[in-house]
Amino acid sequence: MTRILLIEDDTETAEAIVAELAERSFEVHWAPNGVEGLDRARTSHPDAMIVDRMLPGMDGLTVIEALRNDQIKTPVLVLSALGAVDDRVRGLRMGGDDYLTKPFAIVELIARIEALLRRPMDSRETILLAGPLELDLIERTARRGEREIDLLPREFRLLEYMMRRSDQLLTRAMLLEEVWNYKFVPATTNLIDVHMGRLRHKVDAPGEVQLIHNVRGSGFILRARE
Amino acid sequence: MRHIQFIRSNTFLWALAVAATLALFVAGLFAFVYQKLDNYLIARSDRMITTQINFMSDLPHGRRVRAVADHLQQDSRHVHYVGLFSAAGTRLAGNIDRVPSGLALDGTVQGARLNPLEAAAGRGPIVRIVGRRLDDGDVLVVARNVDETREISSVVGQALALGVLPAFCLCVLAGAWLSARAQKRVEVVNQRVQRIVAGELRERLPEGNADDPFARLARIVNSMLDEMETMINALSGVGNDIAHDLRTPLTRARLALERGRTHAVTLEQLQEVTDKAIAGIDQSLAIVTALLRLAEIENSSRTAGFGNVVLDEILHEVCDVYEPIAEDKGVALGVVIDRSVQVWGDRDLLFEAIANLADNAVKFAPPGGQVELELKLDDGRALVRVSDTGPGINEQEREAVLRRFYRSDKIRNTPGVGLGLSLVAAIIKLHGFRLIIGPAPGGRIEIVADAAREGKTRCIPISDLRSRKREVDRTIRGRLDVGTCRMSETEFRCVTSSLVAGATASLLGSVNRLGMWEQ
């Protein structure tokens, strides 16, 4: 069972997160302040941590810094009400692995925790495989079984990102940040959907098993397993 | 109150210092006059007695006694002394008792104190004296009283002293008067400022008619207050806009929830209601996020993320992102690049600005229309033009579109939070570039940027009141430096900068309070 340590001072938020994660069969421990959280992190070795940035006593970034100084490399998702680009950069620089601004959707939190737990495939790999899909990173070619898929550079990057994280829910925000390198929310809200529609059209030809799935209200999944 | 007293004593010190300088100057003047006069009179006496002794020496022995008597008789002011002595030292004629001891009898003039006949008892006068042993062995001594030099000096000294005393008093009085006057005016200003601090934004400092530094300062501060009042009013206007735009989706969410709570009977109905509510909340959140982003850019004066940015890359990237969306809408999106151009700026922000422009252009171009992203190097300046075949922005709306939440009535029903162009404007301002909105029909927005250069781009966001204050400070300082009223300059500076700082701080406080929505 995957163990998660949540350090969050707001009881209601914490309870909601604990309940949602428990429902998805995570084992969650909750620490209401930084000092206790740091203690727990050192002793119980969780698989991943969710740390609120503003905590009474010792703030979240200090907790992460202390852990990193102890060579504890547990992946950390930073939660914060500070959403400015600068705050985000600081949070990541201090040792956070991902940064989520409050308020957030629960699915977004879960998707990001799962992404942290399942680190992507070895990045030295030059050929990515996911189900019938094959992506040659050197030749820049994509195939589905015997069929050659003709992709634009942006579509190629999108498919590469999805194949590295196959069978994982990828939210629109994650895709925007990671694939499009967006540091802001675009005015056109269906930007990702349009691009994803193009890619899906090329990957899933008529009559073939659908690989790219739209999860309503949350994001997309590339299902490689049967 | 304490620092006003300090200023008063300070002014007095200034006045005293000036008075002391004046006294010193007068003393120096006196010494100079005395020295010059003394030298002049001694030289004249020396010349006179040398002539006389020469004249008398040349006379034959017999006529000398007479000449001496004559000479003394003519001297009505009794300043001349002559003595004719035999070789043995007995007085033959004249009004000098005996040959003064230590007098060189070789015709050189020297100063000495003389014991003449009449004043044998008291102290003799100070004289310039010359003596000579004549060919026949007699000794002739001629002297002239130089005590009158001292008399003249004392007269001059008295005159100067008479002059310096009133001047000194005048200095001190002027100092006191100026101090009292300045203090009174500071007190008036202080009262007004207190009222402004208390929230009476319409209050102004008294300007007066005179063109003295104080009045000028008051005018400067008043113009700053005008500016701030306008800004605060504008902000409260924006506050209303924000409240409206935030309340609309929240109202929808609330209504949906309320209706769902009473009417929903199945799980599906309840989920539908919840989805609606979440959508409403998300829209409010999107507005808050956009506003925070806008504030972040507007208040940022940092150029830490600045570097050389290749504009053609950004244009290609933006086209890449929006191409499928344009295609879905049946709009042709194209990039026209003259040549590669670099500018000094923040890559992410410039991307955001151009993406926003492209987003708008695609949104407003009619199906079958065209959107073009163009990059040119024109006269050393980079020009990014985003044009579309949509309705464009008409003359009256050109300024309004840069305002927050402005959405033309014609396009009220187009989705979006209405902050796009304000954001673009803020980014462009941060870079020190220019944003030009072209005439309708057809949307056309240009960003004009200086091509890459070393060093930092100047950037003062207008909304940054602190930089405004610095500007005002600088102006005040500049004005005071050329001010005529030197004596109270220090005091002006001290009081006004603290007043300006206090007023600005409190005004900033109110601005921040009013701008809570955004900050």
H/E stretch holding B97 reads none
Q: Provide the edge-to-edge strand list for the sheet that holds B434-437.
A: B332-337, B370-378, B381-388, B444-450, B434-437
Q: Is the dihedral of CA B215, B220, B225, B227 positive or negative?
A: positive
Cβ–Cβ gap B417/A103 under 8 Å: no
H/E stretch holding B451 reads none
Residue with tokens 């500071």: B186
A86: which chain B residues are within 8 Å (Cβ-Cβ)? 296
DSSP state of B397: G
Complex ipTM: 0.82
Asked if B289 reaches chain A (Cβ–Cβ under 8 Å), the answer is yes
Asked if B325 reaches chain A (Cβ–Cβ under 8 Å), the answer is yes
Walk along chain B (519 residues) and give the pLDDT tens digit of each residue: 445 554 555 767 777 788 788 888 878 887 888 788 888 888 888 898 899 888 888 888 778 888 888 888 888 777 888 888 888 878 888 888 778 777 878 878 888 877 666 554 456 778 888 888 888 888 888 888 887 767 777 787 788 778 778 877 887 888 888 888 878 888 888 898 898 888 888 888 888 777 777 888 888 888 888 888 877 776 676 667 677 777 888 888 888 888 888 888 888 888 888 888 888 888 888 878 877 777 777 777 666 678 888 888 899 989 988 988 899 889 999 899 878 888 888 888 889 889 988 988 888 888 988 899 988 887 778 888 888 888 777 777 776 666 655 555 444 444 455 677 778 888 888 888 888 888 767 777 888 876 544 333 333 333 344 444 454 444 444 433 333 333 344 444 444 444 455 545 544 554 454 444 333
pLDDT of residue B475: 44
What are the structure tokens assigned to B75, written together? 């001297």
Flag whether pLDDT at A6 surpasses 90: yes
Contact B199, B510 (CB under 8 A): yes
User: What's this model's pTM, rounded to 2 decimal places?
Assistant: 0.59
H/E stretch holding B139 reads strand B139-145
Q: How many CB pairs under 8 A join A and B?
A: 47
- CA distance to partner chain A, nearest, from residue B190 (Å): 40
Query: What is the DSSP code string of B218-229?
Result: HHHHHHHHHHHH
A180: which chain B residues are within 8 Å (Cβ-Cβ)? 321
Asked if B321 reaches chain A (Cβ–Cβ under 8 Å), the answer is yes
Flag whether pLDDT at A220 surpasses 90: yes
Cβ–Cβ gap B324/A187 under 8 Å: no
B297: which chain A residues are within 8 Å (Cβ-Cβ)? none
B325 vs A84, A86, A188: nearest CB: A188
- Rounded CA-CA distance A135/A216 in Å is 27
- CA distance to partner chain A, nearest, from residue B296 (Å): 7
CA distances for B503 relative to B164, B270, B287, angstroms: 45, 54, 32
Asked if B324 reaches chain A (Cβ–Cβ under 8 Å), the answer is yes
Flag whether pLDDT at A120 surpasses 70: no
Flag whether pLDDT at A51 surpasses 90: yes
Q: Closest residue of B to A154, CA-based?
A: B320
pLDDT of residue A142: 93
* Of A125, A126, A104, A124, nearest in space to A113 by CA: A104
Contact B390, B366 (CB under 8 A): yes
- CA distance to partner chain B, nearest, from residue A51 (Å): 22
Q: Would you give the distance in Å from CA B244 to the centre of its chain?
A: 43
- Rounded CA-CA distance B96/B92 in Å is 10
A83 vs B292, B324, B355: nearest CB: B292
pLDDT of residue B459: 31
Q: Are strands B434-437 and A170-171 parallel, antiparallel or unpaired?
A: unpaired
Residue with tokens 């042993």: B133
Within 10 A of B212 (CB to CB), how many other CB atoms are there?
A: 16
Within 10 A of A44 (CB to CB), how many other CB atoms are there?
A: 10
A214 contacts: CB under 8 Å, gap ≥ 6:
A196, A220
pLDDT of residue B404: 57
What are the structure tokens assigned to B242, written together? 């924000």
A188 vs B286, B348, B359: nearest CB: B359
A146 contacts: CB under 8 Å, gap ≥ 6:
none
* Of B91, B127, B93, nearest in space to B110 by CA: B127
* Of B259, B217, B143, nearest in space to B499 by CA: B217
- CA distance to partner chain B, nearest, from residue A74 (Å): 30
More confident residue, B502 or A12: A12
What string of H, E and C letters represents the secondary structure of chain A? CEEEEEECCCHHHHHHHHHHHHHCCEEEEEECCHHHHHHHHHHHCCCEEEEECCCCCCCHHHHHHHHHHCCCCCCEEEEECCCCHHHHHHHHHCCCCEEEECCCCHHHHHHHHHHHHCCCCCCCCCEEEECCEEEECCCCEEEECCEEECCCHHHHHHHHHHHHCCCCCEEHHHHHHHCCCCCCCCCCCCHHHHHHHHHHHHHCCCCCCCCEEEECCCEEEECCCC
B416 vs A86, A180, A187: nearest CB: A187
More confident residue, B147 or A27: A27
A93: which chain B residues are within 8 Å (Cβ-Cβ)? none
Cβ–Cβ gap B328/A195 under 8 Å: no
Cβ–Cβ gap A180/B325 under 8 Å: no
Alpha helix ranges (H) inside B264-378 = 267-299, 311-329, 347-364
- CA distance to partner chain B, nearest, from residue A90 (Å): 14
Within 10 A of A27 (CB to CB), how many other CB atoms are there?
A: 13
- Rounded CA-CA distance B98/B89 in Å is 7
pLDDT of residue B302: 61
Residue with tokens 């955004």: B518
pLDDT of residue A32: 92
Q: Mean pLDDT, to the nearest integer, of A167-184? A: 87
A100: which chain B residues are within 8 Å (Cβ-Cβ)? none
- Rounded CA-CA distance A140/A125 in Å is 13
- Residues making up chain A, counted from first to last: 226
Domains of chain A with CATH codes: 3-118 (3.40.50.2300), 127-222 (1.10.10.10)
pLDDT of residue B238: 65
Cβ–Cβ gap A187/B285 under 8 Å: no
Residue with tokens 């982003």: B293
pLDDT of residue B434: 84
- Rounded CA-CA distance A185/A177 in Å is 9
B324 vs A186, A189, A198: nearest CB: A198
- CA distance to partner chain A, nearest, from residue B394 (Å): 22
What are the structure tokens assigned to B205, written together? 């400092």
B324: which chain A residues are within 8 Å (Cβ-Cβ)? 194-195, 197-198
DSSP state of B106: B
CA distances for B261 relative to A102, A179, B269, B399, angstroms: 27, 41, 10, 45
Give the angle subtended at the CA of B321 by the CAs of B317 and B326, to the nearest 5°.
Answer: 125
